Each structure stands twice: as C-alpha cells, then as structure tokens.
Amino acid sequence: MSSYLDLLSIQLGLAAWVTTLLVIALVTVALNYAIRVFLRHAAMAAKSSSTAWDDALVNSAAKPVLLGMWFISGGFMARVLQRQTPEPFLDQVLAARDVALVTCCAWFLLRFIGMVGDNIIAKQLASGEELAHTTVDALMKLSRLLTVIVTVLVVAQTVGFQIGGLLA
C-alpha cells in the first residue's frame, strides 16, 4: 500500500503524508455516497414491513452514521498529521473525536426511541386498538433520560473526569 501512495505522491508532486490525507478524504466521500445509497434502499425496504422497529432503526441511524463516519475519518487524518507535526493539540483532537462519536451514538438512540414510540402509537391507532399513551410516553421519557445520563457519564470519563466516586 505504501508503494502505491509513494507512486501517487510522486505523480502529484505532493508529500506522501499529504497524499495520504487526500486518499483518506476521497475514500470517506466514496463511502459516504455508498452508505447513503444503502440507507435509501434500506428505508424503502423497511417501509414495506409491518413492524415499528425497522423503520425507526433505518431512519434514526442515517444522519448519525454519516456524521460519525466523518468523525472517524477526521481521526485517521489527525493520526497522519500527528506523525508529521509535534503539535500537542492533536491529542485533544482525538479526544474530541471520541466525544463526538459518543454524541453520535446518543443522537441515534434518542432519535430511535422517539421514532419507535411514535410508530407504536401510530400503528395502534391505525388498527383501532386501545393504547395507553401515558405508558408509552413514560417509557420514552425514561429511556431518553437514561440515554442522556449514560452519555454525560461516558463523555465525562472520555474528557478525563474521574467518575468512579460519582458512581460509588
């Protein structure tokens, strides 16, 4: 792989690490497009099913997955830069990437919880069955609260706070 990058960097007249950054960016753009197409087809397939889960899973995952992919790519780019420059700020960039990925996971879960609750209510109303709205609403709020608390704890641990005493 390195010989291909060396050949490409010679052809482009750029340093090998700059060529590596360009390749990472191009691969990310290509993967972004492929995942968008896949998610579009998965959303169409999920619409034809009768369950409340698959629609919510595909629709709630689309934006966080695409954004998370860019954060992961940025982390790879930061590692390439870290080998080239002695700047200490790149360690903070990698920590920020970790926080962003945790936030993307939380964003997915919050969207998923809301969409599942809405889909369950809509399907029950469409079928004419009786539904306890307060129960579904309470479970959705409890799930969201749990997601937010866990996210805050994980982010605090990632940033460097010692949460062991808080959990004890």
Residue 167 covered by a domain: no
Residue 7 covered by a domain: yes
Residue 112 covered by a domain: yes
Overall number of domains in the chain: 1
Q: Specify the pLDDT at position 91.
A: 78
Token pair in block for residue 62: 């689309």
- What is the rounded CA–CA span in Å between residue 140 and residue 96? 29
Q: Which long-range contacts (CB under 8 A, 24 or more apart) does 68-77 make?
A: 68/100, 68/101, 68/104, 68/105, 69/28, 69/31, 69/32, 69/35, 70/28, 70/32, 71/97, 71/100, 71/101, 71/104, 72/97, 72/101, 73/24, 73/25, 73/27, 73/28, 76/24, 77/21, 77/24, 77/25
Q: Specify the pLDDT at position 54.
A: 85
Residue 132 covered by a domain: yes
Q: Specify the pLDDT at position 26.
A: 93
In order along its 168 residues, the chain shows pLDDT tens digits of 566 566 666 666 667 778 888 889 999 999 999 999 999 999 888 888 877 788 888 989 999 999 999 999 998 988 888 888 777 777 788 889 999 999 999 999 999 999 999 888 888 887 777 777 888 889 999 999 999 999 999 999 988 888 887 776
Q: Specify the pLDDT at position 80.
A: 86
Residue 165 covered by a domain: no
Token pair in block for residue 58: 């595909």
Q: Specify the pLDDT at position 5.
A: 60
Q: Specify the pLDDT at position 1.
A: 53
Residue 18 covered by a domain: yes
Q: What is the pTM of this model?
A: 0.82
* Host domain of residue 60: 2-160
Encode 59-73: b = buried (16+ Cβ within 10 Å), e = exposed: bbbbebbebbebbbb
Residue 95 covered by a domain: yes
Residue 75 covered by a domain: yes
Q: Specify the pLDDT at position 100.
A: 95
